[in-house]
Structure 1
Amino acid sequence: MSHISVLLHETVDALLAGRDTGIYVDGTFGRGGHTRLLLSKLDANSTVYAFDKDPQALAVAAELAAEDSRFHIIHASFADLKQELAALGLEHVDGVMADLGVSSPQLDQAERGFSFMQDGPLDMRMDNSQGPTAAEWLMKIEEEALANVIFKYGEERYSRRIAKAIKAAGQIDTTRQLAEIVKVAHPKWEKNKHAATRTFQAIRIAINKELEDIEAFLPQAVEVLKPEARLAVISFHSLEDRLIKQFIQKESTLPEDAGWGLPQQQQDTRRLKKISRVRASDEEVKANPRSRSAWLRVAERLV
């Protein structure tokens, strides 16, 4: 299955807000769907910088950079946004977007080890040029710590049973092996879902430090935005969406006055205002079932 960009037009249109020029950042290039549409709407004086860790995504990005001089790819996590932009002499940009989903090629290529749908080496690394594979990580982590990861990042109620079974199995080399171990250990799972869905999600999030990267990225994104520039982020599960929702809420809410007695002048520390929260349409979900859990949140920099 080729990669279909989720909430494509909604994201780019919200990011631009009617503008057709400027410097923009795509924090997650993937296969370049959002970036290509963005470039098509920008004038000749504009520039788009994109981040990605995946070597296959970087290869696609290199082809686009050769085709369009307005585009530049950065081999780094969006968690290093501010540092990487500063190295290029950039302090502020006109918009930042990110699509937090795993790309279809990552899921569909057995050798990447992201999915239990087909057998492959148990890898799961977004950047498979460095860091431990999921198989190596599972051998090193203690049972209690693994149970906590599966519970926290997979929201799996049977995390302790599953962790115990995984550790008892010893070396696990393939996705099918892991999926079968979880299936046997799991007493009950949701209808229309595989027993290993939540466990695979949890392990992937942990070894790629996905939530930590989001927590690092969001404040940096706000810091590099010019006034009236926008942040647009697509999430695919509740853990991601909750982080984005809480961050935007905090940055767009006037703090309560904690003073006593006479009224004090309240300092307005808000940096964002909420613009929208958008879900994939029924038509998009029908055409691309992977969009069914997607949410786009958009906010605008105040000052």
Structure 2
Amino acid sequence: MHPPVALTRPWPEDADDIAAALADWDVVRWLTTLPWPYGTADARDFIAAAGLDEHAIRQDGRLVGMVQAGRVFGIWIAPDRQGRGIGRRAGVLALSRLFLSGATEVHAHCLIGNDRSARLLAWLGFRPCGRTVLRSRPLRAEVQAEMLHLDRDTFQQRHAIALTTPRLRIDAVTPDDLPALHRIVTKPEVARMLLRYDPAMTLDDVQPLLMQSALLPPLRLAVRYRGQVVGIVGLSEGPPPRLNYFLDPAHAGQGLGQEMVAAVFAELVARFDPPEVLAGAFVDNDASRKILKNLGFRRGEDLELQSLGRASPAPAALYRWRPGLLG
């Protein structure tokens, strides 16, 4: 299970926490651009100038580190929070946002001897690509550093979305999953609740709709229950992105739909920080409408939608989710 970590902007009230963490020489000595000693005034200056690629790492609302993911990647964690997996989780979240923005690669530096950082960067997927000399402000000297590189494909291979809930495993769709998913999505009672599926579709017809990324939108994730593929949760490209999902009716009535959609939606929000997410549901799909309400979506617009699984347009509702919006 991931440690409970959220990324936000650094706030003015974080200055004391930043200064307290960076009063530790064992943190600052590996960060080449910081003054030493580091005080609250330095933290205030940093917060005022922080770029959009610099994220505060929070646990229970408290700042416990910073991560930058833009042209370069860098991270530090407060001494009392190290060794808990926070750096790994924050790195995955920040890099997911970077690659969502369209970036295809990112670089990093690691000072020779910083074994903790080297292990984290290797786990994230960074690969060495040479050495360089950097000027260290706290050390007041030139230092040797390893240059590292990470591309989007490597990151996806290592850190595509994969979740475990009390009853489910949710991860990338594989070719072996397609027959089961085709069987489910072409059931008339399933197809009529979706837009792009027709009961007459062949396996070849549905394959491009189901075999998509497990890292970035448009994405599709297979839901596995007791060793069987029982559904899909996906997110379309935006803006704003649209949440979509289906579950085999043979497994309805057990709360699996809520469990699978809630788990994936929480991960999507943590990784991508969307300002808004949409979802559509036909008015006669009570189960889907309940799922959306429980996730905090608000019914915002009534309309008619045409499903390939229906003979004519049918009444539907468009639901919207925004951070802090009550359902």
- TM-score between both structures, scaled by the size of structure 1: 0.29
Q: Which has the larger radius of gyration?
A: 2
Structure with higher helix content: 1
Q: Which has the higher strand share?
A: 2
Q: Which has the higher contact order (CA 8 A, sep 6+)?
A: 1
**TM-score, normalization: structure 2?**
0.27
